[in-house]
Chains A and B, each alone.
Chain A
């Protein structure tokens, strides 16, 4: 057991160095490719925003009632395409005028908003939530393990509130590199008991003497660690990096961001 712990510690130190501390460093940015906006786009967006948007929306993006651009609060828009059409078409009987921006300026200002107005921040592309929901339940195979609003298995974490618990960057990383994004408590466990039962499950809680988990049959189990023959905590999550395209990932992230713990819409 102590050997396992040491092994995992070594790995997590490496991960922290690569991802935790330098989320926007060169190698990571290249790895993430076109899943997110570049630093150059965000910084170009700052210039566009200051010139075209700040007069009405203010330097912090919060001067128009009901909207906080920096915090990602919009009246209707969800996806980047929605923002694109608001900017190019205008809204509210001309109170939000239509802007005729070049493509690079347009994507830049969206990147700046998605980066939370931080020119050194991370701006994840947010796609279409309706398409994302279809991918979640279909091609993406997410719903085979995750539960949303009372539907789906309970073995993987329930995602009904995930949109308010995680940032877009964290959700995206979960899809692209689940091993780097998995919360430590969710690491899969494999246990062999004294009566030779093998339990595969997901930890819910642990302390010095006991561990509580949900097993693959969705049973809540509480076990005394001293009585276990084997207790292994896997470094790797049970899912692989997604095969979805960059656009599809943006759609799934958009869908996940709509999951706010308020239950299914009636």
Chain B
């Protein structure tokens, strides 16, 4: 009898396991909106809207949010990782390249995989990793030493480890990979080190590279003539933020970063395609379908590494397959994602590097004299932090930096393999000479730079007109992404460490809580056992909130 019950118990465990560890085939990711209790991709789905159908937390009960659990990071530094949640298990990465599988109800850890990057790894702006992709029974992570690793999703064991790029030439992968069909697609970082950028797809089962498409056309390819001499060989154009996918067109979309050297545009005459562009690549072959360049011959480090946010909208009365894009260069764009045609291009912050856009949305350059401030400054009007679009409100939400400018200088620089290739530098415009300013990430719990060197404005934009509908200002700047929900909540953070919940229609502040550390990634939401959680990383801790029991 005893024996039988034990066997039954074991069988029961096995059954329970197989039920809770269901596979995540491509079809589930394709239909991610049908399982809003999970957060299956970096941006919550292939359209990258960061909009959740969950509506348990509402404007009426948001005051009842309470902290459920905290996961403490063991490594200091900006925590830019975006959690993935599958059937009650959260997968989140830690600097430089660890993956953790965590119980999404209690925050207790099942396993942790540690990849130690090659000591030659070089990244410009911190040992960042922005998260994993899941597909079937595997978890995928790109690494600082430009590898792509596949782990067993159940036990965290390494299955394969493929080279994406040459670490000796300062290639790296900081983005969360994008899983499409049977492929894992990543781009490479290294825009400050004279790389030649690309997007590459790997067989999800074996790790073999299936295709690679360079973001700088080689000799004989269209667009190569936008470079002179050998400039194309080390012209940058990295891809370090996860793209989007439109299954109807079978196209993936990727934001491409700055040309190199960063600040000396005269050293690389021409438009420098496809730097500072969005490129549309066939998911199966990597073939380029179209491109749109936001900032030709960029002298300001205006990476176009923003998330290509896709939405099917009724644009001024006409159904459009749209792509919305608040660019680092200070302009907000709406593109037709079937052609790359620019429908809207309007400045959302003060812009003086350009006096406007022509009828094709090509900027009219107005470079500032030496020593004079350029708006927006080097970190841009916005940057890589993920935006959100709510189909319910029809508004696009993102973090902008207002009143922020820098003074650039340029100098000639020879390319040296694997070394920084910047061609100049910049200083942030301060109200007083020598006053503290803002940089990449918050460096001091005391804000002694003040809002006079720049501050955050969360903007809600109307894609029909490109006009701002409302804004929510913060005293410091914000690198926080956005999350919207079906209960019309807009959830975000900022460098000050506040977790904010707003009314997505009006911008009214509904809730805020000081979490004490900079929030440099977007919140996500998921549901387990009928409880909706909101997960947000602040400082070195991942906080999970839900309504009071």
Using a CB–CB distance below 8 Å, which chain A residues touch chain B?
Answer: 5, 8-9, 12, 15-16, 19-23, 166-167, 169-170, 173, 180-185, 204-209
Contacts and interface: CB of A to CB of B under 8 A. Distances in A.
Contacts of B430: 16, 20
A46 to B, nearest CB: 22
Contact of A206 (B429, B450, B512): B450
Interface of B: 371-373, 403, 407, 429-436, 445-453, 473-476, 494, 496, 498, 512
B491 to A, nearest CB: 16
Contact of A167 (B431, B434, B452): B434
A184 B452 contact: yes
B51 to A, nearest CB: 25
A12 B452 contact: yes
Contacts, number: 72
Contacts of B432: 15, 20, 180-184
A5 B475 CA distance: 12
Given A21-B371, A21-B372, A184-B452, A208 B433 contact: no
Contacts of A21: 371-372, 407
Contacts of B407: 21
A12 to B, nearest CB: 4
A188 B229 CA distance: 57
Contacts of A204: 446
Contacts of A5: 451
Nearest to A21: B371
B498 A207 contact: yes
Nearest to B497: A207
Contact of A184 (B445, B449, B474, B512): B449
A207 B431 contact: no
A185 B448 contact: yes
A20 B473 CA distance: 27
Contacts of B373: 16
21 contacts: A12-B431, A16-B431, A19-B433, A20-B430, A20-B431, A22-B371, A166-B434, A170-B433, A180-B432, A181-B433, A184-B431, A184-B432, A185-B449, A185-B450, A205-B446, A206-B451, A206-B475, A207-B474, A207-B475, A207-B496, A208-B494
Contacts of B372: 21
Nearest to B430: A20
Given A183-B436, A185-B450, A209 B512 contact: yes
A205 B434 contact: no
A15 B429 CA distance: 12
Contacts of A15: 431-432
B238 to A, nearest CB: 32
A170 B498 CA distance: 34
B492 to A, nearest CB: 12
B433 A185 contact: no
B513 to A, nearest CB: 10
Contact of A208 (B434, B435, B453, B475): B475
Contacts of A9: 403, 452
Interface centre among A167, A204, A206 (most CB of B within 10 A): A206
A166 B435 CA distance: 10
B447 A206 contact: yes
A8 B452 contact: yes
A173 B435 CA distance: 13
B414 to A, nearest CB: 23
B407 to A, nearest CB: 7
A60 to B, nearest CB: 20
B517 to A, nearest CB: 13
A-B residue pairs, 4 tightest by C-beta: A12-B431, A184-B450, A207-B496, A185-B448
